[in-house]
Chain A
Amino acid sequence: GDSVTQMEGPVTLSEEAFLTINCTYTATGYPSLFWYVQYPGEGLQLLLKATKADDKGSNKGFEATYRKETTSFHLEKGSVQVSDSAVYFCAEDQAGTALIFGKGTTLSVSS
């Protein structure tokens, strides 16, 4: 079946550092792609999405570009803050039924 692979964490950065979290997917066709963020003790919040090739999703300084040629959707932010510390999940949806999630990447930002 389809799967999503994220870079292993934890990722530890200093405040204002550049962030990249890699994500690749295996689905054929053109799935929709998402990044969700989960803060301790909470559910998942949608961070950004892209629904077709070359789309760029962006929100709160985070960006990710849908790359069909490399089946990737890497998350980036130019300058992270302590408040960005959380677990980040990449996910794909092929048919409007089930989101397929990666295992999550823990980000820890120190001041």
Chain B
Amino acid sequence: DAGVTQSPTHLIKTRGQQVTLRCSPISGHKSVSWYQQVLGQGPQFIFQYYEKEERGRGNFPDRFSARQFPNYSSELNVNALLLGDSALYLCASSLVRNSNQPQHFGDGTRLSIL
């Protein structure tokens, strides 16, 4: 079975632009979460979606938004990009929204802001 897939793998943008990142969860997984990983740090939680509804939001500005589609895939949008948004953006999926269920990660999208 395919794991979590993310696209694109790499992206270069300039300050002020907008970006959309995409994620397809493992088949059958209904929960999708997004994380930001700055170089040399652990991932920071951005959003969780479950059954197409937002179930959790981390400490990120309103420039960050996301949604989940009927097929459980998800998009992360970031507006008005800043240099500090340069990071690896990770998507993770889990079967259900339960702390006992491990989250499985994709390989991420490397976003560079010039």
CB of A33, distance to nearest CB on chain B (Å): 10
A98 touches B102 (CB 8 A): no
- The answer to whether B107 and A42 have CB atoms under 8 Å apart is yes
Chain A residue contacts of B58, Cβ below 8 A: 98
Cβ-neighbour of A99 out of B41, B45, B98 (below 8 A): B45
Task: Flag if A95 contacts B99 (CB, 8 Å).
Answer: yes
B100 near A98 (CB under 8 angstroms)? no
Residues of B within 8 A of A41 (CB): 107
Known contacts A96-B99, A99-B103: A104-B41 contact under CB 8 Å = yes
Pick from B42, B90, B102, B108 the residue with the most CB of A within 10 Å: B42
A43: which B residues are within 8 A, CB to CB?
4, 90, 105-108
Query: Would A51 and B100 count as touching, CB distance under 8 A?
Result: yes
Interface residues of B in 18-44 (CB under 8 A from A): 33, 35, 40-44
Inter-chain contact B100/A97, CB cutoff 8 Å: no
Q: Say if the beta carbon of B15 comes within 8 Å of chain A.
A: no
Measured between C-beta atoms, what is the minimum distance from A2 to chain B in Å?
A: 11
Inter-chain CA distance A34–B108, complex, in Å, is 19
B16 within 8 A of A: no
Is B48 engaged at the interface, CB distance under 8 Å to the other chain? yes
Q: Which of A32, A44, A45, A103 has the most CB of B within 10 A?
A: A44
Q: How many residues of B contact A (CB 8 A)?
A: 28
Does chain B have a CB within 8 A of A25?
no
Q: Is A22 an interface residue (CB 8 A)?
A: no
Kindly state whether residue B56 has any CB partner on chain A within 8 Å.
yes
CB distance from B77 to the nearest CB of A (A): 19
In the assembled complex, the CB of A101 is this many whole angstroms from the nearest CB of chain B, namely 3
Closest beta carbon of chain B to A95's beta carbon, Å: 6
Known pairs A31-B99, A100-B45; list 5 more (Cβ under 8 Å): A4-B42, A49-B102, A96-B97, A97-B45, A99-B43
The contact sample of 20 A-B pairs, CB cut-off 8 A, is A42-B107, A42-B108, A43-B4, A44-B43, A44-B105, A49-B102, A51-B99, A91-B42, A93-B99, A96-B98, A97-B33, A97-B45, A97-B48, A97-B55, A97-B56, A97-B97, A99-B35, A102-B42, A103-B40, A104-B42
